[in-house]
Amino acid sequence: MTEPTIPQLFDLTGKVVLLTGAAGHLGSAFARALAEAGAQVIAASRDRDRARSFAASLPAVAAGPHGGVALDHLDETSLNTGFAAAVQHAGKVDILVNNGHDADGHDLTNVTAEQFNRQLANATGYFLLARKFHDHVTSRAGRGSIVLIGSMYGLVGSYPDAYEGVCAASPVHYHTLKGGLVQMTRHLAVYWAKDGIRVNLLSPGPFPSAKAPAEMVRRLEAKSPMHRMGQPHELKGALVFLASDASSYVTGQNLVVDGGWTTW
């Protein structure tokens, strides 16, 4: 076998990616990264028009036009129809990125049982879509890569000082959700390795959007070893690494991109 070059390992030409939450703060950088690496991107949003207009803004690739589909992680019917629409558009899906997240801003002082359970249903949606993707890839005798998006808050506890007197604490049900994704990743990776499907988690540290409270951001910056927040483009390389053959011998892992937050 000829040794692949670095450009070949990271090249996604001919690959089709389904990316959920594609038009969001981090999702839009992920979508550009995948398209820049040559992939045909099927952008998913709960709003199909939003998905389609966002897809049209991505850099063109040779394989065909990017597409947009409606997909809600909390609605199994929507997961099924969204996945079918992606396959109808591009003929196949080779890479799945579960990034969409139905957020809830309550914290441990006031979250209700219903809100807590709804937050955990994000994991159910990630799993059901991953299994749908697995069945699609195996029915084609293909190979696939799944990337789930986790969080530094799936690995470490909160940092109460960042939120005290500014806003609600980081949600306890969010920590529970993201911690569970570490284990879901390992479980699926072990069972699906024999089917040629790799499953990995990409866990961002603090990447606040412009909507985040300025004082909270200042406190997070003060605590971070790099004394600054991440910018969405700083996740692009890690995502393409996990999606592509550059990581062909990597599965079940959690790649943390957090400016050193979890290394204290």
Ligand X SMILES: NC(=O)c1ccc[n+]([C@@H]2O[C@H](COP(=O)([O-])OP(=O)(O)OC[C@H]3O[C@@H](n4cnc5c(N)ncnc54)[C@H](OP(=O)(O)O)[C@@H]3O)[C@@H](O)[C@H]2O)c1
Please give the residue ranges that form the binding site for ligand X (CB under 6 A): 20-21, 23-27, 45-47, 50, 71-74, 99-102, 149, 151, 204, 206-208
Q: In this complex, which beta carbon is closest to ligand X, that of residue 151 or of residue 251?
A: 151
Query: Cα(260)–Cα(224) distance, rounded to whole angstroms?
Result: 7
Q: How far is the CB of 59 from ligand X (least distance, A)?
A: 20
Q: How far is the CB of 9 from ligand X (least distance, A)?
A: 25
Q: How far is the CB of 78 from ligand X (least distance, A)?
A: 8
How remote is the C-alpha of 210 from its chain's centroid?
20
Q: Strands (DSSP E) along the chain, which ranges?
A: 16-19, 40-45, 67-70, 95-98, 144-149, 197-204, 254-257
Q: Helix (H, G, I), strand (E, B), or coil: what is residue 105? A: coil
Query: Cα(65)–Cα(14) distance, rounded to whole angstroms?
Result: 12
Q: In this complex, which beta carbon is closest to ligand X, that of residue 11 or of residue 224?
A: 224
Q: In this complex, which beta carbon is closest to ligand X, that of residue 92 or of residue 118?
A: 118
Tokens of 96: 């799945």
Q: How far is the CB of 258 from ligand X (least distance, A)?
A: 8
Count of helices and strands (H, E) across the chain = 8, 7
Amino acid present at 87: V
Q: In this complex, which beta carbon is closest to ligand X, that of residue 72 or of residue 94?
A: 72
Q: How far is the CB of 74 from ligand X (least distance, A)?
A: 4
Query: Cα(97)–Cα(93) distance, rounded to whole angstroms?
Result: 11
- CA neighbours closer than 13 Å in the CB half-sphere of residue 4: 11
Q: Which of 159, 163, 174, 191 is catalytic?
A: 174
Query: Cα(238)–Cα(247) distance, rounded to whole angstroms?
Result: 10
Q: How far is the CB of 198 from ligand X (least distance, A)?
A: 19
Residue 126 is among the residues annotated as catalytic for this protein? no
Contact between 184 and 124 under an 8 Å Cβ cutoff? The reply is no
Q: In this complex, which beta carbon is closest to ligand X, that of residue 69 or of residue 189?
A: 69
Query: Cα(262)–Cα(257) distance, rounded to whole angstroms?
Result: 9
- CA neighbours closer than 13 Å in the CB half-sphere of residue 182: 16
Q: In this complex, which beta carbon is closest to ligand X, that of residue 18 or of residue 90?
A: 18
Tokens of 187: 């479980």
What residues are labeled active site? 174
